Chains A and B, each alone.
Chain A
Amino acid sequence: MSAVETRKPARRANRRASARLKSLAGFLVVVATTYLGLLAVTFFIGRVVPIDPVLAIVGDRAPAHVVERVRQEMGLDLPYYQQFWLYLKGVFQGDFGTSVLTTNPVMTDIRRVFPATMELATVGTIIGAALGIPLGVLAAVRRGSIADQVVRIVGLIGYSVPIFWLGLLALLVFYARLGWVSGPGRIDVVFEYTFTPVTGFFLIDAIFNRDWAAFRDILSHIILPASLLGYFSMAYISRMTRSFMLNELGQEYIVAARAKGLSESRIIWGHALRNAAVPLVTVIALSYAGLLEGSVLTETVFAWPGLGLYITNSLQNADMNAVLGGTIVIGSVFIAINLLSDVLYRMLDPRTRTR
């Protein structure tokens, strides 16, 4: 702040800062409560599912004394509230426990599986948005035309066809029959010895290492599952784009713009879409967050070692540390993406900026 400024605006700035601090504190309280609720609910669900967590560790054939000993080691003989308290204490010290299935600390596992899911979701969302927005605009502009109908049908199919079936079909056609793309997995086994992931985002790692052969291989592996996820988010994004655009195109400023003699493309892309973009950001962000949870079926069909598969597998084995860790990550992702879309919202919509 410069010295030329008068005291009055300074006081106003102070007031504004304290208001912001207050809203920040409020926000933190909300986040903390959300986390605590999330943990408590997941924890107790995990304890009441009719699956014995000891089974995953010792197997069906272990003698009874081993089963009992492991039950005690895991603290499962304690009352629930005590188990939860012990777990919370660990979490506050940054210890999310160990997964019994992989024997790794849960956060190590998640650092490994989450980038796989995130990479897939990111490419999927890019494809979904790149296709969905133009198609949605097209459908809105040519409302009722054949183009509109086609977009609607394509979208409807995206909603209703089981992804498991579509995934297998896509593999059959583009991988097995045509050989245009690589098959299941993230990378070919020939790179097992030469390619060492650093960030866990393989595409980025390959660029980083200037390993172009690996890059092409990774791209050729990711493109099919990502297109599939992209197709599903495209279906959603195009529907929403269409309805936002229709809303905007009915506004008076569009009529005014037309009266001014602006070109139609300028009106659609420059004016209407610009305003429709504001709610659209939220739509895209939510669809991205949805993909980040990990699509279990896509990951199963494409043997993609991601978060969805990890959590499902853990849940089926009552590996609760892993499930809780995964839940925290997904919760954090939702909170972060909501925040991010709030920020973008403000940037795009002048009305939500503070005076």
Chain B
Amino acid sequence: MNREKITTRLRPLLAGAAFSLLLVSGGVAPAFAVTPADTLVQAWAIDDTITLDPAESFELTPAEFIGNAYDMLVRLDIADTTKVKGGVAESWTVSDDGLTYTFKLKPGIKFASGNPLTAEDVAWSMERVVKLDKSPAFILTQFGLTGENVTERAKAADEGTFVFTVDKPYAPSFVLNCLTATVGAVLDKKLVMEHAVATTPNDEYKYDTDFGYAWMKTNYAGSGPFKIRDWRANEIVVLERNDNYYGDKPALARVIYRHVKESATQRLMLEAGDVDVARNLEPGDLDAVAKNGDLTTTSAPKGTVYYISLNQKNENLAKPEVREAFKYLVDYDAIGATLLKGIGEIRQTYQAKGVLGALDSNPYKLDVAKAKELLEKAGLKDGLSVTFDVRNTQPVTGIAESFQQTAGQAGVKIEIIPGDGKQTLTKYRARNHDMYIGQWGMDYWDPNSNAEAFTSNPDNGDDASVKTLAWRNAWDIPELTEQTKAALLERDADKRAEMYKKLQQEALDTSPFVMVFQQIEAAGLRGNVQNYKLGPSMDTNFLATVTKQ
């Protein structure tokens, strides 16, 4: 837009601004704002936070609050993300039959409330998750825990020893990885039960207490380096330093998250100094921040992958040649260089980089001639027409449009059906789509999470009880399902990694999933923010080390 046009458009605004000025008389705000030295202010779209309860929370942003405010038995080792290290547990042993895990707790740990943290709190937290049975509970119940047996199988042997019994000799890496999830957070039993409400047992819920469920939605009972002081939905989250924390105490007295949805708004606030960190910058704004001398950027690959999937209920898309052809019709290079700049990197295998057994292989390139050949082999010489459900946000809209254009060159006519996020997702979950572009975040930091989603489908019937991503695309794969299951019981970590690599290779060659990229989380920072490091998952975006100069 040229300068003259801007000034014409500005003129009317000046009238309003003159009036503003009159009222503000002399300008109230300084030209450059500074946040308090002991406070880190972050601008972030936090509208996906619907609860602060680790037993229920399964969204992205609350994972960061919980990861910083709670502690788990074991935590992901940031230096080598294929391993775990102690959280509240000092050491652990696995019995020879692979069924019993014994954890020794670090002595003298206190909750933020001042109550001592004991093995009883660990056992009770697990019991609470299993009995409440909310969305993330399966991460623990998959070890054979039920409401009836949990008090036996997750048990405090003494004040400092917690014993966990699983139903099958799983790979220890699998069990430990699952325990790092936010659902494994240790809660302050005494504090929570003070706020528990009595309930009437019925067929659905057999217990006479709500285990503090109502209270925990908006309150805090943990032992992490920060405590959660306040959450006002769509507005603010305030974390404060926990002075009872047993480890190195954070340098910051508080961290404030302000709900700001717009990338451009976040950038302005960062430039003006009203926030120290901007979390939802789109490629253009991120670029501008990187070029600004007062600001820096940081980034880390995250465990979320984006893919285009082909519903196998559509007879054309079910042909193996078509599935392969579509993988040659994505312009990976162009998408990576423009749409994903700074926020994602091309990845054609379904495991995220950095997880145990991740296969790093990107064999596909845009090759229209090759795709045409494959389509001809499939008897679709004249091309085909399909619909494509796309939610109206970036970068997926851009990727879908790019795909529409390159696929068109091979005679594939794609009709994009734009929709709101939840709307396209509802259709996808009901298997009513032809093609869908989606994202998948790991449920917990273990290869089984994505292997189960992409290469396992125990029952392809419409009323199946387990509905994986393979199910959503009606991909019937009894053999791969068995292999996925088998990898869980392989106790040798190297052999286990190999099994996952094989599964990914199979998916790369034959699956109806056109894997496109792995998300990179990027943040813009003010220059005085030090040691701000994003982790491989949301709950490992640790803030305790951050300082401000």
Contacts and interface: CB of A to CB of B under 8 A. Distances in A.
A168 B23 CA distance: 21
A104 B10 CA distance: 42
A270 interface: no
Nearest to B134: A66
Contacts, number: 203
A318 interface: yes
B28 A220 contact: yes
A351 interface: no
A273 interface: no
Contact of A100 (B23, B30, B50, B137): B50
Given A52-B422, A189-B39, A313-B234, A171 B19 contact: no
A181 B269 CA distance: 12
A223 B236 contact: no
Contact of B36 (A190, A224, A313): A190
Contacts of B32: 179
Q: Which of A158, A168, A303 has the most C-beta atoms of chain B within 10 angstroms of its own C-beta?
A: A303
Contact of A303 (B15, B238, B258, B271): B258
A156 B466 CA distance: 57
A35 interface: no
B41 A179 contact: no
B265 A104 contact: no
Q: Which of B12, B134, B136 has the most C-beta atoms of chain A within 10 angstroms of its own C-beta?
A: B12
Interface in B198-239: 204, 217-218, 232-236, 238
A189 B422 contact: no
Interface string B1-35: 00000000111110111011101100111111101
Contacts of B427: 50
Contacts of A262: none
B431 to A, nearest CB: 13
Given A173-B10, A300-B261, A102 B35 contact: no
A51 B16 contact: no
B241 interface: no
Contacts of B16: 127, 131, 227-228, 230-231, 234
B13 A104 contact: no
B331 interface: no
A310 interface: yes
Where chain B touches its partner, the secondary structure class is mixed
A38 interface: no
Nearest to A186: B235
Contacts of A60: 425, 429
A109 B23 CA distance: 31
B234 A55 contact: no
Interface string A171-184: 11111101111111
Interface residues of B, number: 71
A8 interface: no
B422 A103 contact: no
Given A52-B429, A178-B31, A220-B29, A170 B134 contact: no
A61 B58 contact: yes
A322 to B, nearest CB: 10
B167 interface: no
Contacts of B271: 176
A335 interface: no
Interface string A284-314: 0000000000000000111101000110010
Contacts of A64: 464-467
Contacts of B426: 50-52, 55
A227 B17 contact: yes
B23 A184 contact: no
A122 interface: no
Contacts of A72: 204
Contact of B17 (A59, A174, A189): A174
A58 B36 CA distance: 37
Contacts of B238: 192
A102 B62 CA distance: 13
Contacts of B13: 166, 169-170, 173, 231
Contacts of A154: 11-12, 15
Contact of A310 (B27, B234, B236, B420): B234
Contacts of A180: 17, 20-21, 24, 27, 29
Nearest to A167: B265
Interface string B268-299: 11011010000000000000000000000000
B405 interface: no
A58 B135 contact: yes
Interface string B249-268: 00000001011111011001
A219 B12 contact: no
Nearest to B53: A103
B258 A317 contact: no
A180 B21 CA distance: 8
Nearest to A49: B423
6 contacts: A55-B426, A63-B138, A169-B13, A173-B10, A217-B28, A300-B262
Given A63-B466, A173-B10, A316-B422, 15 more contacts: A55-B426, A59-B58, A61-B135, A64-B467, A65-B465, A72-B204, A166-B9, A169-B9, A176-B271, A181-B29, A190-B35, A223-B20, A227-B19, A300-B261, A305-B234
Interface of A: 49-52, 55-66, 69, 72-73, 100-104, 109, 112, 127, 130-131, 153-154, 157-158, 161, 166, 168-176, 178-185, 188-190, 192, 216-217, 219-220, 223-224, 227-228, 230-231, 234, 300-303, 305, 309-310, 313, 316-318
**Which 8 A-B pairs rank lowest in CB-CB distance, beginning with the nearest?**
A179-B31, A102-B233, A62-B135, A227-B16, A220-B28, A52-B426, A303-B260, A223-B20
